[in-house]
Copies of this chain bind each other. A is one copy, B any other.
């Protein structure tokens, strides 16, 4: 029986390696084609204890054969959620882009790390090129500024808060929060929970995150923001950070950035735009007006792994001031960032990060951008928004199934025909949170979803 010891780097392992990898590729190709097939289930749902018992998942002392390894690969995909399925609407990241997938395979094959130009020359340059392009699209002059790809929107938002604090109080790096006055951060009551998570982690505390009221469509009310900033100052707090949301997690609302920018300037507060979800609308000439004012922000989170359908993970933090990230985070580790290297060490971006090693997240975005062009992303985003308008028109006059969302959801999982998330918001009861970012979805899939929800809830 052939095992891992027959593969490269073993002598004469070439043939066995090619055969094994090709077998895995064939399994994956079969899965991919099936994922896009509407007649297959989105998920073959099993309860955790059942799934634990349906297969032997334990780790043992002894090796398996490569045939067993292939069996494991098949089993893993069999019980996976088909996130590429045209009827998977469950999360903000849905769909599977074929060029992005190919790029992610290639990234794994290159198996390197973003800390220095030395070990990732091409990827470091592509990050440089892409971040510059994104800053141009934001509208910062000549694409100047800074940025990084981080492990997700929550970390990107945390970076922004870290930078805002450092900008106002650079001594915090050495001396900690003990040397600072009490800070206050502001974000809307519909903003993402990562703002509070970040404040907790950074030693600022969740109580220092002051929630600003939203209007009936979920947008931050600027007058309430200003009132709370003034109030915080009167209580002796120092406002240092406003996070406006471009595309809230539940309503998909866009905070009014121009009015917020005016308030931030007036009070000398760092303006961050959390565009993890809605930032991609900047690629659409038709819809980018929703982010008017973003060019006045000090920083922005923008996750191409959401509405642009780049495979997970791909989140960018863009920063208007160049050099600040480096000053805030650098520790000048001499084993990585030698100053006496033979090349321009400004390409060694690792010391900007709070991480040491950093995963290569850039190549899939870059390669998709080359394959689609800006216009390709634009078309994809415009189509998602068209589908969501269609859905809105179809259901705006129907009511009645909100109260029983969890029961319908449970049935939906068991049938596996489609997947959509649900949640309460404030004093509202549970309702379905419909996410349309899957490039595979069509008008028919929206119709199917509505009918399926009604069918599953029929006897309730």
- Decide if A401 is an interface residue (CB 8 Å cutoff): no
Q: Which residues of B contact A79 (CB under 8 A)?
A: 121-122
Contacts A17-B33, A80-B121, A312-B357 given: A370-B335 contact, CB under 8 Å?
Answer: no
Q: Which residues of B contact A376 (CB under 8 A)?
A: 4-5, 63
Pair A176/B151 contact, Cβ less than 8 Å: no
Q: Mark A320-338, 1 if CB is under 8 A from B, else 0.
A: 0000000001011111101
Q: Mark A26-63, 1 if CB is under 8 A from B, else 0.
A: 01110111001000000101111101100001111111
Q: Count identical subunits in the complex.
A: 2
Kindly provide the distance from the CB of A15 to the nearest chain B CB, expressed in whole angstroms: 10
Q: Which residues of B contact A458 (CB under 8 A)?
A: none
Pair B36/A8 contact, Cβ less than 8 Å: yes
Contact of A313 among B31, B86, B359 (CB under 8 A): B359
With most chain B CB atoms within 10 A of its CB, the pick from A125, A155, A359, A370 is: A370
Pair A121/B60 contact, Cβ less than 8 Å: no
Q: Which residues of B contact A211 (CB under 8 A)?
A: none
Q: Mark A123-164, 1 if CB is under 8 A from B, else 0.
A: 001100110010000000000000000011111001000100
With most chain B CB atoms within 10 A of its CB, the pick from A72, A80, A111, A332 is: A111
Could you list some 28 contacts between A and B, CB below 8 A? A4-B98, A9-B440, A17-B32, A18-B33, A20-B102, A24-B105, A52-B125, A59-B129, A66-B371, A73-B102, A76-B122, A76-B363, A79-B122, A81-B120, A101-B111, A112-B312, A151-B355, A151-B359, A152-B356, A165-B203, A172-B200, A174-B205, A176-B199, A193-B333, A202-B203, A249-B333, A338-B423, A341-B409
7 interchain residue pairs of minimum CB distance: A203-B203, A176-B205, A9-B440, A177-B177, A177-B203, A104-B108, A151-B151
Kindly provide the distance from the CB of A127 to the nearest chain B CB, expressed in whole angstroms: 11
Tell me which of A89-97, A256-264, A286-294 binds B.
A89-97
Interface residues on A, range: 35 or more
Q: Mark A200-231, 1 if CB is under 8 A from B, else 0.
A: 11111111100000000000000000000000
Pair B69/A154 contact, Cβ less than 8 Å: no
Tell me which of A239-247, A342-350, A391-399 binds B.
A342-350
Q: Which residues of B contact A152 (CB under 8 A)?
A: 355-359
CA–CA, A202 and B178, complex, Å: 12
Q: Which residues of B contact A355 (CB under 8 A)?
A: 151-152, 154-155
- Decide if A425 is an interface residue (CB 8 Å cutoff): yes
Contact of A406 among B3, B173, B183, B340 (CB under 8 A): B340
Pair B312/A356 contact, Cβ less than 8 Å: no
Nearest-neighbor residue (CB-CB) of A433 within chain B: B335
- Decide if A194 is an interface residue (CB 8 Å cutoff): yes
- Decide if A421 is an interface residue (CB 8 Å cutoff): yes
Q: Which residues of B contact A297 (CB under 8 A)?
A: none
- Decide if A268 is an interface residue (CB 8 Å cutoff): no
Contact of A46 among B66, B121, B358, B368 (CB under 8 A): B121
Pair B342/A413 contact, Cβ less than 8 Å: yes
Kindly provide the distance from the CB of A330 to the nearest chain B CB, expressed in whole angstroms: 9
CA–CA, A206 and B103, complex, Å: 39
Within 8 A of B (CB), among A297-313: 305, 311-313
CA–CA, A81 and B116, complex, Å: 12
Pair A207/B113 contact, Cβ less than 8 Å: no
With most chain B CB atoms within 10 A of its CB, the pick from A18, A175, A329, A357 is: A357
- Decide if A375 is an interface residue (CB 8 Å cutoff): yes
Q: Which residues of B contact A421 (CB under 8 A)?
A: 335-336
Contacts A173-B206, A202-B201 given: A354-B158 contact, CB under 8 Å?
Answer: yes
CA–CA, A117 and B64, complex, Å: 27
- Decide if A188 is an interface residue (CB 8 Å cutoff): no
Q: Which residues of B contact A22 (CB under 8 A)?
A: 25, 29
Q: Which residues of B contact A69 (CB under 8 A)?
A: 99, 102, 367, 370-371
Kindly provide the distance from the CB of A433 to the nearest chain B CB, expressed in whole angstroms: 6
Q: Which residues of B contact A27 (CB under 8 A)?
A: 106
CA–CA, A360 and B80, complex, Å: 12
Contact of A331 among B155, B174, B196, B370 (CB under 8 A): B196
- Decide if A182 is an interface residue (CB 8 Å cutoff): yes
Pair B112/A173 contact, Cβ less than 8 Å: no
Contact of A77 among B110, B165, B180 (CB under 8 A): B110
Kindly provide the distance from the CB of A61 to the nearest chain B CB, expressed in whole angstroms: 4
